[in-house]
Amino acid sequence: METDIETSGARRPGPIYLVRHGQTAWNREGRFQGQGDAPLTDLGIEQARSVGRRLRRELGDIATTPFVSSPLGRCRHTARLICEAAGWVDTAPMFDDRLKEIHFGRWEGMTVAEIEARDADEWAARSADKWHHPAPGGESYEDVSLRIAQWLTERPASTPTLAVCHGATGAVLRGLYLNLPPDEILVLDKPQGVVTLLSDGTETVLPGDPC
């Protein structure tokens, strides 16, 4: 893979606590979000809070822990709810454009049925090669992998990082960390309401804490 990162030995990043934003209205409706935005649903709000409670149990006080988030609104809201639920009253993430969701161009806000009706040929081309073929006016997964690989190489080696991002971006991040080939990255699940811990070359899913 063109974007493999070195994750062995001394250069392996420290643990990464990875969170996908809570469910949004467009998630619920099956719409492509990309770098557009939609508000969190009531379920999404509770997912973020449950993740915050779990992160408090895992990390305690994060005054010295790098906390990074996509700048898109659904991640900002999720990060704020995490801090409230964890009791991190003086904590706020740094925002990094490299953690933004894959850009779906003119398909953002549309369902698959709407895309197929409007752009059948483009949809078929992208479906045949999702890694390299972008949505019209958008990004390919390969494009996303380049910015995520750069972000990963900057993670500290000895301390954990907390990151809030998106479904596709998070899958690429996990796949690069685990050194998966593109075809395996493309079929990774994209859970919400959990923490994915990337550590020592493996991943562990940590469920959110109920009230």
**Cβ neighbour number for residue 10 with a 10 Å cutoff:** 6
Which H helix or E strand runs over 199?
strand 194-199
| CA separation for the pair 103, 120 (Å, rounded) | 19
Residue 21: active-site member:
yes
Closest residue by Cα to residue 114 from 7, 208, 13, 32: 32
Nearest Cα residue to 131 out of 34, 32, 2: 2
Would you call 184 a catalytic residue per the annotation?
A: no
Residue from 101, 108, 139, 142 carrying the catalytic annotation: 101
Q: Are the CB atoms for 144 and 172 separated by under 8 Å? A: yes
- The half-sphere exposure of 123 on its side-chain side, counting CA atoms within 13 A, is 14
| Active-site residue list | 21, 101
